[in-house]
Amino acid sequence: MSRGEAAGRLPRGLWLAVPVLALLAGCSDSRHEADGAMRMAQAPAPAPFVPAAREGSTAKLAYRHDLTVGLGPDRVAPHFAAARDRCLDAAATCTLLSSSIRDGGGTRQPQAQVQVRLPHAAVAPYVASVTAPLPGEAAGDVVLIEQATRAEDLTASIADTGRRLAQLNDYRTRLTALAEKPDNRAEDLIKIAGELAQVQSQIEEAEGTRRGLDERVDTEIVTVDFRTSRARAGAFAPVQEVWARSGPILGESAASALRFTVASLPWLPIVLFAALLLRLVWRIRRKRAHPARVQSEP
């Protein structure tokens, strides 16, 4: 076999290798996802939620709590509705900041999130309710996968806002006393009135900032993510899940293959032209390198 024939057959081998490589890559990705899911399922659950201690502390701290709750795929929506409705029913002590849910479709897993603002005393009861099983569920059906607490120190910001308010109020008092003098001219009164309006606007803005800071210190934000968990399914959970969702997975794989085929059609003429051009260049170079051998061939 000549080098020219070997070079001509090499692309065919590459074309046969492409589907095999794609299949191996897909299997590798699936195995990687399954291993990650099993590691998450076998990991020990975090300790129960403990409220942050504030007794004896002079710092002005704003707390945020992030929790991830693992559930079965069909239990995400009921727990999401229960967490949202609990906050809405206790409107006097709970403020619903955001809520969202994504149904599982195709290869996606159902997922939901609820974010609320609560006073200090209501945080622990709310967390206990959203991490507890609903009626008809077992204790192991709800798993606290992850929890985190962050605190932002607002002591300096509150002190700065208080000093600014004191200065603005003092300035407004002096302007008011100046405006009440009997010997003021009309143009002086106009200037004082304009300055008073600006100072009043700045005071209202500073008071709004202080109210926002006080609200952050007096309350806590709790964010709860509801996600699917395989902790109850055992070692064959990935196999059972893939088998249960084999129809949507097959449909999406077929759609991806069809999408790739349709997207490749406009490039076929360009690829064929490039292949012909390369073959022509190769034959010209071969003819120049071996002119005598080419002429002797029939």
CB 71 within 8 A of CB 231: no
104-156: pLDDT as tens digits: 665 578 899 999 999 999 999 999 999 999 998 888 889 899 999 999 999 99
> What pTM was computed for the model?
0.60
Mean pLDDT of the chain: 79
CA distances from 285 to 36, 169, 288 (A): 54, 91, 5
The pLDDT tens digits of the residues spanning 51-105 come to 655 555 688 999 999 999 999 888 999 999 999 999 999 777 899 999 999 886 6
What was the pLDDT predicted at 292?
A: 54
Q: Determine which helix (DSSP H) or strand (DSSP E) holds 71, and give its type and residue range.
A: strand 61-71
**CA triple 33-36-38, angle to 5 deg:** 110
Task: Report the distance separating Cα 168 and Cα 208, nearest Å.
Answer: 14
Instruction: Look at residue 165 in the predicted model and tell me its pLDDT.
Output: 95
